[in-house]
């Protein structure tokens, strides 16, 4: 592996920045790779040995007429975030890191694995970055790590995490990861952290938030009164790059386009798909019944539950998030409206059906 990395470095000595991305096969990572490659950057990407990169190729085809040429800018490297030695090898010669990799699960049986990947894996990344002299490190965190404002106020970067039985295992793992990044900043690593709200975008239609569009196309009958922040994955990628290209360091930013109800979100999606809008209001009692039935179905059949206790709670929560800090930082930047983001994503979903 060292020989391959050294050959790569020698063949690109004219590049002032050598960039490494983790989580490149995910929703945010694949769009970030496209934006970096489109701008002519050479990127090394850490992936697991059995990872499928077909999703990255698909995302490149969404936006480019010459995806194969752009894909040549990527060097894929097999490494395990829990193996510090393979991480150190992957960071040889790297000047900038975008850490997008994370495990997302709301199933209790995945708690221990998720904690290790998200917290220990991030600790390995920042420790290796410190040792290898990385000049800047961008960490993709989550809106779930930000404390919720009380009394219906809007949450900002100044709202800090509070321990609570309502915190999901995922949010706990991401909070732990964020603490590792802040610890590294105190040890001399220049970092920026982004906390996206619920991300809208095209990719693997069976995973992450993209799976919402698969469910929407099949038709969703129920809705809740919950409110959340939403942001387009293209905006997340663009802002990450702008932050890394700036002199900003040791700051975190909420990335959020709009705060809307889940009903509005799914109504827009169903309209775009020419499907009937959700018409049955699901109260907390019905949601509670649903996640319990799904748990029983999971125990009997081993199938993945469609709804869990944590996702049921989230669907009823009213949360509003500010984007003022990032807007003040980049006043010319305009977030993609949620309606446009949903419609664009629905079109890509339909194109994949053909």
- CATH of residue 138's domain is 3.40.50.720
Is residue 209 in a domain?
A: no
Give tens-digit pLDDT for 67-122: 999 999 999 999 999 999 999 999 999 999 999 999 887 777 788 999 999 999 99
CA 3 to chain centroid, in Å, comes to 32
Q: What is the pTM of this model?
A: 0.90
Arithmetic mean of pLDDT, 39-51: 91
What Å distances lie between residue 131 and 34, 99, 154, CA to CA? 28, 16, 39
Give, as one character, the DSSP assignment of residue 257. Answer: S
Q: Are the C-beta atoms of residues 192 and 253 closer than 8 Å to each other?
A: yes
pLDDT at 15: 45
Structure tokens at 19: 């960039």
pLDDT at 354: 79
Structure tokens at 335: 């977030």
Arithmetic mean of pLDDT, 207-235: 90
Q: What is d(CA 224, CA 81) in angstroms, rounded to the nearest whole number?
A: 38
Rounded to a whole number of angstroms, the CA Rg of the chain reads: 20
pLDDT at 211: 87
Is residue 301 in a domain?
A: no
pLDDT at 292: 59
Give tens-digit pLDDT for 130-184: 999 999 999 999 998 998 887 778 999 999 888 887 788 889 999 999 999 999 9
Is residue 289 in a domain?
A: no
Arithmetic mean of pLDDT, 205-221: 88
Is residue 99 in a domain?
A: yes
pLDDT at 300: 61
pLDDT at 13: 40
Q: How many domains does the chain have?
A: 1
Give tens-digit pLDDT for 245-297: 999 999 999 999 999 999 999 999 999 999 999 988 877 755 554 545 555 55
222 pLDDT more than 90: no
Residue 129: which pLDDT band, with cuts at 50, 70 and 90? very high
Is residue 245 in a domain?
A: yes
Is residue 217 in a domain?
A: no
Is residue 283 in a domain?
A: no
Arithmetic mean of pLDDT, 320-330: 97
Is residue 293 in a domain?
A: no
Domain that holds residue 61: 2-200+229-257+321-338
Please state, rounded to an integer, the average pLDDT across all residues of the chain: 88
């Amino acid at each position: 592996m060292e020989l391959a990395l050294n050959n790569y470095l020698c063949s690109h000595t004219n590049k002032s920045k050598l960039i490494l991305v983790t989580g490149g096969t995910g929703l945010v990572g694949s769009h970030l790779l496209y934006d970096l490659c489109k701008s002519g950057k050479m990127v090394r990407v850490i992936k697991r040995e059995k990872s499928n990169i077909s999703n990255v190729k698909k995302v490149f085809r969404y936006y480019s007429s010459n995806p194969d040429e752009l894909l040549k800018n990527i060097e894929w490297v097999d490494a395990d975030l829990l193996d510090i030695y393979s991480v150190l090898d992957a960071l040889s010669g790297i000047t900038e890191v975008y850490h997008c990799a994370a495990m997302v699960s709301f199933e209790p049986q995945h708690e221990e694995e998720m904690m290790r990947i998200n917290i220990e894996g991030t600790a390995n990344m920042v420790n290796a970055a410190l040792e290898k002299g990385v000049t800047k490190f961008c960490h993709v965190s989550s809106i779930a790590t930000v404390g919720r404002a009380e009394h219906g106020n809007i949450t900002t970067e100044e709202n800090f995490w509070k321990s609570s039985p309502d915190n999901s295992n995922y949010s706990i793992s991401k909070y732990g990861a964020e603490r590792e990044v802040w610890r590294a900043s105190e040890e001399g690593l220049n970092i920026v952290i982004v906390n996206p709200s619920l991300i809208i975008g095209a990719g693997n239609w069976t995973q992450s938030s993209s799976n919402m569009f698969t469910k929407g196309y099949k038709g969703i009958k129920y809705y809740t009164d919950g409110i959340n922040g939403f942001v387009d994955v293209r905006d997340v990628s663009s802002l990450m790059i702008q932050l890394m290209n700036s002199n900003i360091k040791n700051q975190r930013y909420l990335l959020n386009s709009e705060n809307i109800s889940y009903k509005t979100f799914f109504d827009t999606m169903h309209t775009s798909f020419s499907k009937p809008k959700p018409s049955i209001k699901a109260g907390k009692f019905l949601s509670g019944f649903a996640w319990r039935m799904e748990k029983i179905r999971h125990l009997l059949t081993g199938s993945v539950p469609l709804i869990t206790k944590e996702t049921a709670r989230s669907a009823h929560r009213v949360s509003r998030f500010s984007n003022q800090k990032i807007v003040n930082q980049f006043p010319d930047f305009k977030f993609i409206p949620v309606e446009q983001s949903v419609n664009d994503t629905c079109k890509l979903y339909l194109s994949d059906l053909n």
